Amino acid sequence: MTLAPFGARLRHALDTRGQLCVGIDPHASLLAAWGLSDDVAGLEKFSRTVVEALAGEVAVLKPQAAFFERFGSRGIAVLEQTVAEAREAGALVLMDAKRGDIGSTMAAYAETFLSPGSPLFSDAVTVSPYLGFGSLRPALDLARANGCGVFALALTSNPEGAEVQRAVAANGESVAQGVLRSLAAENAGAEPLGSFGAVVGATLAEAGVDLAINGPLLAPGVGAQGATAADLPRVFGDAVRDVVPSVSRDILKHGPSVAALRAASARFVDEIGAVLGR
């Protein structure tokens, strides 16, 4: 079955389930806080609980691949299971892998996450454009062909990112603005929303760039990193309707109770919706 373009599927999910992405970040401290062992058994229990609680409720779930990969092949098996079960329950899955390379290697990364035959097939994946935006071409093309999405790092929430992302190129344009301009070109003419998004931190004092890319803007930093729903209009301006705020710890800390996880995510949906007039 051919999927509809990711941008259209995402727009529908945001409009019906609310503007929220919840990370699945099973790092050691969270496993301990849930009373789980820091091993594959704990990883599986954690992930299955999050999927049970939220995959039928929120628009997007975002597994952080690194926290599964640290357990080797058995951890990857849990990630495969998590992706499949989350998608089956109705959530869009954004794989937070931040892959970036060139040529056949980038193509292999793309096939891992964006090819329907792959055990890790996801609705979208995060990528790094800092080997040049053109290095992303295999991922962009495969995503377009398979109805998937790609989110490129643009202005991230970590303070170290500015030394690269705010750097000014020979044409007078910041590196981040160049990434955004390229994404806008990929999304040209797409309705109701393009499938190629940017990662722009909600913790920024100001964006200082043109965010009108006709695509989604993944906004990490809401919650534990200090940003709130009230910050979103200031950072994202007229593009705020296309923002996908991402929350991890401030929701996951309420586990392992399924009811508490659902209540926490619902509070964020309501807070974000109230600020955005939804």
Q: How far apart are CA 169 and CA 220, in angstroms?
A: 26
Q: Are 249 and 240 in contact (CB under 8 A)?
A: no
98 is catalytic: yes
Q: How far apart are CA 145 and CA 58, in angstroms?
A: 26
Length of the chain: 278
| Residue from 45, 62, 98, 253 carrying the catalytic annotation | 98
Q: How far apart are CA 252 and CA 135, in angstroms?
A: 34
Q: Is 208 left (phi over 0), alpha (psi -120 to 50) or beta?
A: left
What counts of helices (H) and strands (E) characterise the chain? 12, 8
Q: How far apart are CA 166 and CA 155, in angstroms?
A: 8
Q: Is 127 left (phi over 0), alpha (psi -120 to 50) or beta?
A: beta
Other residues' Cβ atoms within 10 Å of the Cβ of residue 168: 11
Which residue's structure tokens are 């955005």?
Answer: 276
Is the torsion defined by CA of 233, 237, 241, 246 positive or negative?
negative
Residues recognised as catalytic: 98
